[in-house]
Amino acid sequence: MSFHDDLKQQQPILYQILIKSFTSSKISHAFLLVGKNSGLAAHYIAKSLICSQEILACNQCNDCRRIDEHNYGDLIYFNGKDESIKKGSVEYIQEQFAKSSMEGKAKIYLLENIENSTPEAMNSLLKILEEPIAGVYAIFTCQNLSRVLPTIQSRCQVIQLLPSSKKLLKSQLINDDIPEDDINVLSELFDTYDECQPYIESELLEALKLEVFHFIEDLYCHRDNLVINVQTHLMKNHKDKEKVQLFLNMLVLGLRDLFHVKHSMSLTYPSFRSLYERVDDTDDEIVRKIDLVLNTEYLLNTNANVMLLIDSMMCKI
């Protein structure tokens, strides 16, 4: 299913706002999308602003692909999740958009996780929004609206995204004929089929699932092997930040299963049941371990050293 169809089913409010404004050519100069994983919707709006194939983005033409790849000449992109958005980044936007258009279409600055901006950057953005320029569009995303200046909110079309439908996503994944564990993991970690697709088509998910199994098995059954196995397998084969982050999120689901199996609840990894039944741990201890992994995943986003973070987690767990 295309993101266009996905949008209509999972975000009908956003879809209706976009189709109405683009059909009438009354498009806001600034959008603020609020909700988890709003980046896809933000990129869809950017593509719709420059796509000449349909009213909204066709998701197939060269311009649409260039937006996704962040190599469209009149697109400036920053993500506050990677690094806090600073005043210098906003000044760069002002400088670039003071020049003539490179593409001859809309000029767009797309800032994800705008709540992770410095106060100076927020104030600079406000100045841009107070004096909008024809043909220049701002697209912002955030997960915590309370951390965005009210004066910025008032100058944007604020759109609250609906929580994703896990049931719909699972039904889409079932059609791919993948294991039940994979369907459960993907529907827990992602909101749309498009986000899941790269993992369906690669061997990474299966490899990390095996790492989760071995981590839990070593943690409870072969404790002396835990550190060496993590260092020689996980950190050797999947040492970059994004893969480690995915592993930690998948590990949380596995540890949560330990709680679920004790209370006859459904499991994310039903194929791990025989392992879970060998584990004897208290609810409090399971929760402590989950909190530790979640905290490690949080610290990973602060650009801390990956190896040191994992070593510290293993010592504490």
Q: Is the same domain home to 226 and 141?
A: no
Q: Which of 129, 160, 191 is the last residue of a domain?
A: 160
Q: Which of 132, 160, 188 is the last residue of a domain?
A: 160
pLDDT category of residue 4 using cuts at 50, 70 and 90? low
Q: Is the same domain home to 220 and 294?
A: yes
Q: Which residues pair with 32 in a beta bridge?
A: 140, 158
Is residue 149 helix, strand or coil?
coil
pLDDT average, residue stretch 38-64 = 92
Domain for residue 117, yes or no? yes
Q: Are 134 and 144 in contact (CB under 8 A)?
A: no
Share of the chain above pLDDT 90, in %: 43
Nearest to 166, CA basis, from 10, 39, 3, 1 = 10
Q: Is the pLDDT of residue 303 over 80?
A: no
Q: Is the same domain home to 14 and 155?
A: yes
Enclosing H/E stretch for 198: helix 193-200
Q: Is the pLDDT of residue 189 over 80?
A: yes
Number of domains present in the structure of the chain: 2
Domain holding 247, by residue range, is 203-316
Determine the Cα–Cα distance for residues 74 and 97; give it in Å rounded to an integer: 8
Domain for residue 113, yes or no? yes
DSSP state letter for 31: E
With tokens 């995204």, the residue in question is 161
Q: Is the same domain home to 143 and 218?
A: no
User: Is the sign of the CA dihedral 85, 88, 92, 95 positive or negative?
Assistant: positive
pLDDT at 12: 81
Determine the Cα–Cα distance for residues 84 and 29; give it in Å rounded to an integer: 23
Determine the Cα–Cα distance for residues 203 and 293; give it in Å rounded to an integer: 24
Enclosing H/E stretch for 68: helix 62-68
Q: Is the same domain home to 207 and 283?
A: yes
Q: Is the pLDDT of residue 144 over 90?
A: no
pLDDT at 145: 85
Is residue 23 helix, strand or coil?
helix
Domain for residue 175, yes or no? no
Determine the Cα–Cα distance for residues 8 and 297; give it in Å rounded to an integer: 32
Q: Is the same domain home to 115 and 213?
A: no
Domain for residue 181, yes or no? no
Judge residue 50's burial from the number of C-beta atoms within 10 Å of its C-beta, 0-12 exposed, 13-18 middle, 19 or more buried.
Answer: buried
Domain for residue 300, yes or no? yes
With tokens 């592993």, the residue in question is 247
Q: Is the same domain home to 309 and 210?
A: yes
Q: Is the same domain home to 212 and 139?
A: no
pLDDT category of residue 2 using cuts at 50, 70 and 90? low
Q: Are 159 and 35 in contact (CB under 8 A)?
A: no
Going by C-beta distance under 8 Å and a sequence separation of 6 or more, which residues neighbour residue 16?
Answer: none
When mean pLDDT is compared across 37-46, 176-185, 218-227, the lowest value belongs to 218-227
Determine the Cα–Cα distance for residues 94 and 128; give it in Å rounded to an integer: 8
Angle, CA 184 vertex, CA 181 and CA 187 arms, to 5°: 145
Q: Is the same domain home to 16 and 100?
A: yes
pLDDT category of residue 157 using cuts at 50, 70 and 90? very high
Is residue 297 helix, strand or coil?
helix
Kindly calculate the radius of gyration of the chain based on its CA atoms and give it in whole angstroms.
22
Q: Is the pLDDT of residue 254 over 90?
A: yes
Q: What is the pLDDT of residues 265-277, one digit of tens each?
A: 889 999 999 999 9
Q: Is the same domain home to 273 and 132?
A: no
Q: What is the pLDDT of residues 54-103, one digit of tens each?
A: 889 998 899 999 999 999 999 999 999 888 899 999 999 999 988 888 88
CATH number at residue 53: 3.40.50.300
Determine the Cα–Cα distance for residues 209 and 92; give it in Å rounded to an integer: 42
pTM: 0.58
User: Kind of pairing, strands 107-112 and 30-34?
Assistant: unpaired
Q: Is the same domain home to 224 and 150?
A: no
Q: Is the same domain home to 208 and 106?
A: no
